[in-house]
């Protein structure tokens, strides 16, 4: 009976909704789908980073009559991948701006014939000078994008930074860098498109954001919304890597389908996926911080720069999140953050779990360690003295309204990791032997949902439907790609209605069927979409009560009967909920002031490592991940999000280096781009604090991205602790450690400087 306050479903480990299909191999991904008469598509890409196309020739060894060939001339609508700016062509017509730029599309019914055909197309170019680093881009020796190679600049200005330098007892400077990182979802990108004159265009694919693809296809094909349909298939991992690029692949499959009149499937192989699709933005952060005698931050400047690659894509938004997180969970009475995203002739960098925050938080957390060294405080104490407290304001002037006690979180993490004892033990052990041990810490936060007014602009809609058979169905465009979207949203609906979890179903995200609940990104699903599902579910109950079919208290069976009766009498019952921004969330986009996020999740992570000075390899021996994420909706899934994020961040810190050559990824293979295996990872010990949050369903906040932010700085701090060397960039591979120890590395102490005021 409902009316009992205790939650029965939220907070319990119900079975993953689509789990049975996954463990039996029955789950259907896009490559598992075959349509009658289907062709296979492939992409001819540029081989130079920048230039003009002079001539395209088709080699005589191929019978081209058998192939469908699409060029930019075949595009019915606008030749762009519509997103924020319409600068990225779907197929290059004249100019080439990066070495994986798509130029032509080919399709054939025998996919084995495609690689040779792609090879047989030769493109002659008039090459132009290209730029590959942020510094080259800033020098403007070549202008490759817009007026000044700059996609976006952001200024966050709080208090009076000019005035802090003379009050400072210490001024601490440092520069920090992070590299590109490949999402490396195990299912490569893929799409199928089919065009039927009656229905219009349909695509099925591996994707996070059905309505992003929908919008891009409408612009590309010049079709009205009702003539474009996007269906998300089971998606084998995404991590942001299937946020924007699927629009490109869908566009390509659609063009081939339109021209051939047959369904077309495009599945990337691993090399094409790694080389051509988006990766995490490389970053450079410069800190200059004024610190008091007792280690309090008085103020500082932060210059945060990211490499966006050749086109604008999502760089402005990644930059925004990175800039807002650049001050971390600390109180800055005065700060000026100058952030900018610049263009280079590499394939566009894009969304990846954390979305700019892992970059700026890496820099800040390393810098906090540097400040600690200068002030001669411990890394623990410097953090404790500067933690944000409720009522204080963040760098954007947002007052901390949650009752967070970071000092207590820190204490608990120290205890869980046995920090002090380990610190002493390692110092003792490190006097001898070739294996050096160290321990490091990071404290950080992550904002849930779209930044600033983003959620208001998205204006997400969800529906909950009462079905003929008495069950309930959740209709959202929020995609499942491993995180547990389906499971938690069904839990929320079941809880809200007093039903069993089994009574709730999840509609396949299909733009013809489901409303636009926004993209599946930004740690927004549990908090924002979850809350809307809760509201829409309650709407169903209200309707059933108003129609006299349901009493104040009811059993699950009574609810089913009421649904059946209602649908029989009145037809389909759908309840809709639309996002409305709470009045206390006010954001000034122009000044970058106000409430950047409805809620933050908070964390303290501690890593213990061993560095073997024979091989210079680092192994993480222990990892404590303590976080406050609001209500934990599902303990097993939540833990899985944290462990998975930490694992990915261990890769970011210690293993994963993209090797670039003139804008092209040289190691676009799993053989030489190394991600962690089951043999590489430490015990990752996950702990939650739960503090209610009014903005999310049953008090939930964001969880997906948070664990990507903290592990890299904690681990690099631990490596530094072990070797008594300060490292300021990642990835930190054995060769980098070797170079640093041998004294010739760029990734060592020398980059920073500090002075004490006389």
Site residues for other proteins per CB under 8 A: 13, 15-16, 18-29, 31-32, 111-116, 183-188, 234-239, 269-271, 481-484, 636-637, 639-640, 643-648, 669-671, 675-679, 681, 683-684
Cβ distance to other proteins smaller for residue 307 or 480: 480
Q: Which of 575, 480, 562 is nearest to 533 (CA)?
A: 575
3-class SS of residue 163: helix
Cβ closer to other proteins: 388 or 649? 649
Q: What DSSP string runs through 431-500? A: TSSSEEEEEEEEEEEEEESSSTTHHHHH--EEEEEE-TTS-EEEE-SPPPSSS-HHHHHHHHHHHHHT--
For other proteins, give the closer residue by CB, 100 or 463. Answer: 100
CB nearer to other proteins: give 322 or 482. Answer: 482
CA distances to 80, 162, 172, 340, 367 from 302, in Å: 34, 13, 12, 11, 11
Q: Residue 546: enclosing H or E segment and its boundaries?
A: helix 530-546
Instruction: Identify the bridge partners of residue 716 per DSSP, sorted by sequence position.
Output: none
C-beta closer to other proteins: residue 645 or 745: 645
Reduce the DSSP state of residue 665 to 3 states and report it.
Answer: strand
Judge whether 733 and 650 are in contact, CB under 8 Å. no
Least spacing, CB of residue 620 vs other proteins, in Å: 11
Structure tokens, 353: 């779990």
Nearer to other proteins, 33 or 556 (CB): 33
Q: How many CB atoms lie within 10 A of CB 576?
A: 15
Least distance to other proteins, CB of residue 116, Å = 6
Do 162 and 695 meet the contact criterion of CB atoms below 8 Å apart? no
Residue 15: CB atoms within 10 A of its CB come to: 11
The least CB distance from residue 270 to other proteins, in Å, is: 4
Least Å from the CB of residue 181 to other proteins: 12
Of residues 57, 63, 60, the one with CA closest to residue 104: 57
Please work out, in degrees rounded to the nearest 5, the angle formed at the alpha carbon of residue 620 by the alpha carbons of 751 and 652.
55
Q: Which is nearer to other proteins, 310 or 668 (CB)?
A: 668
265: three-class secondary structure by DSSP: strand
- Minimum Å gap between C-beta 657 and other proteins is 16
Q: CA 466, CA 540: separation in Å to the nearest integer?
A: 7
Rank residues 403 and 635 by Cβ distance to other proteins and give the closer one.
635
User: Of 119 and 376, which CB lies nearer to other proteins in the complex structure?
Assistant: 119
Residue 676's closest CA among 708, 697, 691, 654?
A: 654
Closest to other proteins by CB, 21 or 424: 21
Shortest Cβ 417–other proteins spacing (Å): 17
Of 513 and 680, which has the nearer Cβ to other proteins?
680
Q: Which H or E element spans position 711?
A: helix 711-723
Residue 42's Cβ-count burial label (10 Å; 0-12, 13-18, 19+) is buried
Query: Residue 601 Cβ, how far from other proteins at the closest point, in Å?
Result: 18
Q: Quote the least distance from Cβ 121 to other proteins, whole Å.
A: 16
Using a 10 angstrom Cβ sphere, with 0-12 exposed, 13-18 middle and 19 or more buried, the burial of residue 640 is: middle
Six-digit token pair at 425?
């033990």
For residue 373, what is the enclosing H or E element?
helix 357-375
Give 683 or 756: the residue with its C-beta nearer to other proteins.
683
The nearer residue to other proteins, 264 or 291, going by C-beta atoms, is: 264
CB closer to other proteins out of 145 and 673: 673
Instruction: Give least dist CB 480 to other proteins, A.
Output: 8
Q: How far is Cα of residue 99 from the mean position of the Cα atoms in its chain? A: 24
Residue 370's alpha-carbon distances to 179, 378, 718, 749, in angstroms, are 21, 10, 13, 9
Nearer to other proteins, 312 or 608 (CB): 608
Distance separating alpha carbons of residues 304 and 156, to the nearest angstrom: 11
User: What is the smallest separation between the CB atom of 14 and other proteins, expressed in angstroms?
Assistant: 11
Smallest separation (angstroms) from other proteins to the CB of 623: 10
Token readout for 275 is 């080389």
What is residue 242's DSSP assignment? T
Q: Shortest Cβ distance from residue 33 to other proteins (Å)?
A: 9
Residue 317 in 3-state DSSP?
Answer: helix
* Cα end-to-end distance, the chain, whole Å: 72
Q: Cis peptide before 731, with omega less than 30 degrees from 0?
A: yes
Tell which phi-psi region holds residue 680, choosing left (phi > 0), alpha (psi between -120 and 50) or beta: alpha
CB of 626 to other proteins, least distance (A): 16
The position carrying tokens 């709407």 is 539
Nearest distance from C-beta of residue 499 to other proteins, angstroms: 22
Give CA–CA dist 533/531, Å, rounded.
Answer: 5
Query: Which CB atom, from 163 or from 683, has the smaller least distance to other proteins?
Result: 683
Find out whether 498 and 559 touch, Cβ atoms under 8 Å.
yes
β-pair partners for 297: 291
CB of 618 to other proteins, least distance (A): 17
Query: What is the gyration radius of the CA atoms in the chain, in angstroms?
Result: 26
Alpha-carbon distance 307 to 55, whole Å? 31
d(CA 376, CA 363): 20
CB of residue 141 to other proteins, shortest distance in Å: 38
């Amino acid at each position: 009976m409902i009316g009992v306050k205790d939650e029965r479903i939220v907070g319990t480990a119900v079975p993953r909704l689509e789990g049975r299909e996954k463990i039996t191999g029955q789950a259907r991904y896009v490559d598992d789908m075959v349509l009658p008469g289907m062709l296979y598509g492939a992409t001819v890409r540029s081989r130079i980073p920048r230039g003009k196309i002079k001539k395209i020739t088709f080699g005589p060894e191929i019978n081209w009559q058998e192939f469908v060939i699409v060029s930019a001339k075949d595009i019915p609508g606008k030749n762009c991948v519509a997103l924020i700016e319409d600068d990225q062509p779907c197929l290059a017509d004249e100019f080439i701006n990066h070495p994986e730029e798509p130029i032509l599309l080919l399709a054939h019914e025998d996919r084995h014939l495609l690689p040779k055909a792609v090879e047989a197309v030769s493109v002659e170019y008039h090459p132009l000078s290209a730029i590959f680093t942020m510094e080259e881009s800033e020098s403007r020796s070549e202008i490759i994008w817009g007026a000044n190679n700059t996609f976006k600049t952001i200024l966050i200005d709080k208090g009076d930074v000019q005035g802090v330098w003379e009050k400072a007892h210490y001024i601490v400077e440092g520069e920090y860098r992070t590299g590109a990182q490949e999402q490396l979802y195990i299912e490569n990108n893929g799409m199928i498109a089919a065009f039927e004159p009656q229905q219009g265009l349909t695509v099925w694919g591996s994707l996070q954001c059905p309505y992003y693809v929908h919008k891009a296809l409408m612009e590309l094909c010049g079709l009205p919304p009702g003539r474009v349909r996007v269906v998300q298939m089971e998606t084998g991992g995404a991590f942001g890597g299937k946020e924007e690029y699927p629009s490109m692949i869908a566009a390509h499959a659609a063009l081939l389908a339109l021209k051939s009149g047959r369904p077309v499937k495009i599945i990337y192989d691993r090399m094409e996926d790694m080389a051509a699709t988006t990766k995490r933005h490389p970053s450079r952060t410069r800190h200059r911080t004024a610190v008091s005698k007792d280690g309090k931050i008085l103020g500082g400047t932060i210059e945060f720069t990211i490499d966006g690659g050749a086109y604008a894509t999502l760089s402005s938004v990644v930059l925004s999140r990175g800039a807002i997180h650049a001050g971390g969970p600390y109180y800055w009475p005065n700060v000026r953050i100058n952030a900018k995203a610049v263009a280079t002739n590499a394939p566009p960098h894009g969304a990846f779990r954390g979305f700019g925050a892992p970059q700026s938080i890496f820099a800040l957390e390393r810098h906090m360690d540097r400040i600690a060294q200068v002030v001669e405080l411990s890394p623990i104490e410097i953090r404790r003295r500067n933690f944000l407290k409720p009522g204080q304001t963040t760098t954007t002037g947002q007052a901390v309204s949650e009752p967070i006690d970071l000092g207590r979180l820190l204490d608990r993490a120290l205890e869980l990791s046995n920090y002090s004892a380990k610190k002493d033990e390692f110092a003792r052990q490190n006097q001898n032997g070739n294996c050096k041990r160290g321990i490091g810490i990071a404290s950080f936060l992550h904002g849930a949902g779209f930044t600033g007014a983003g959620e208001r602009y998205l204006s997400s809609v969800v529906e909950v439907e009462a079905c003929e058979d008495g069950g309930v169905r959740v209709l959202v465009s929020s995609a499942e790609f491993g995180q547990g979207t389906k499971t938690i949203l069904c839990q929320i609906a079941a809880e809200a209605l007093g039903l069993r979890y089994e009574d709730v179903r999840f509609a396949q995200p299909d733009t013809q069927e489901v409303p636009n609940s926004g993209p599946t990104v930004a740690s927004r699903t549990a908090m924002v979409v979850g809350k809307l599902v809760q509201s829409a579910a309650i709407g169903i109950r209200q309707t059933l009560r108003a129609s006299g079919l349901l009493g104040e208290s009811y059993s699950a069976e009574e609810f089913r009967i009421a649904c059946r009766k209602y649908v029989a009498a009145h037809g389909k019952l759908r309840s809709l909920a639309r996002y409305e921004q709470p009045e206390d969330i006010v954001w000034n986009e122009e000044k970058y002031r106000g409430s950047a996020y409805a809620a933050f999740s908070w964390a303290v992570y501690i890593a213990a490592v061993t560095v073997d000075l024979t091989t210079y390899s680092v192994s993480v021996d222990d990892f404590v991940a303590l976080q406050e994420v609001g209500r934990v909706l599902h303990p097993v899934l939540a833990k899985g999000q944290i462990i998975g994020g930490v694992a990915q961040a261990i890769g970011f810190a210690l293993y994963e280096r993209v090797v670039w050559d003139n804008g092209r990824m040289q190691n676009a293979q799993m053989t030489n781009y190394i991600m962690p295996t089951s043999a590489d990872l430490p015990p990752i010990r996950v702990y939650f604090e739960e503090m209610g949050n009014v903005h999310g369903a049953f008090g939930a906040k964001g969880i997906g991205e948070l664990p990507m932010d903290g592990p890299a700085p904690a681990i690099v701090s631990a490596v530094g602790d072990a070797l008594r060397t300060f490292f300021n960039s990642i990835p930190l591979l054995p060769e980098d450690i070797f170079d640093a120890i041998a004294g010739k590395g760029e990734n060592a102490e020398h980059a920073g400087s500090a002075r004490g005021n006389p």
